[in-house]
Structure 1
Amino acid sequence: MSKPPIVPETTPSGIAVDPRTLERVIPESRRPDGSVRKQLKVRPGFTPQEDIRRFRGTRQAQMDANSLPKGHIIGWAPPPQTAVPPASKAGLTKAQKKNEKRKEKRKEKRDETKVKDNWEDDDDGEAGSASSPPPAEKATSGEHTPENPNWAAASATQKDAEDAEAEGLADKLEKLEVR
């Protein structure tokens, strides 16, 4: 037989097992004025009202074990952690199929673009480059640049930039969409 723990666990009513005598006792305690209450023995077989558990039948106990956690909403399931495979193309409209193709092309385009290793090296190389055209040549070209604004050429580039920006926002909204 193993020995009881040095610091015995107490029941809700305060009864503990005395480690020396192995009897159930109410341990000594200190009153607010500083005096000490004596340790009281508890008769064998006595169970105070505070220690009596509420009776639960087998069905009630089983229902308690299977009950939902507090605050749970019936019918709500957390979103799946795994990525949902795309729906079959048979159930898609023409516009949805077209959008799928656009998404695939955008993903391919993103994969093709390379991230520069060091931004400072690229800036230095462009500024001190001998192959850059002189300012007079820039003025004659039909491109839109901050130094030489050409608004006729800029309208197409601005539209492309706005379309790209709109597509980026659409992708973010799809990620945030609750299903």
Structure 2
Amino acid sequence: MSKPAIVPETSAAGIAVDPRTLERVIPESRRPDGTVRKQIKIRPGFTPQEDVRRFRGTRQAQMDASALPKGHIIGWAPPPQAATPPASKAGMSKAQKKNEKRKEKRKEKKEETEKVKDSWEDEDEGEVVEGKGTGTTSSEREDLHTADKPNWAVASESKDASADALADKLDKLEVR
């Protein structure tokens, strides 16, 4: 049997369980003039009128349980809360821990691919597309204009770049 609470819960009528004797009592209290009221014992099984709950039939109880809260708008749902990382992994199952590790690895991999190259001389990693700070290689980009896959929205940019490169080559070849 469990021990009663140090500060006993009281009912609407003020009845509490005495922690020493485990009997139902109205504890002693102090009057406004300073005198003390005696503790009153309550007979077993007695329920005062203040503690009697209002009778609700089964249908009424079901309606009360399914009733919407005051001020609720039908069809409205609160916006989803932002996902917060769990405070500790102690309460997580094996599958949840495994999924969390996968998510972290995907995030690290994504951050790794988004890095801008430090050295432009490294050709083994592929060319970095100008104007795009993502660090993706030209072979991976789908929106580039090539002979195999023409993309006319990007083609005007590549024509300007190739025209500048051609003009530079011609300046170098010019005989004086």
Give the TM-score, by structure 2 length: 0.43
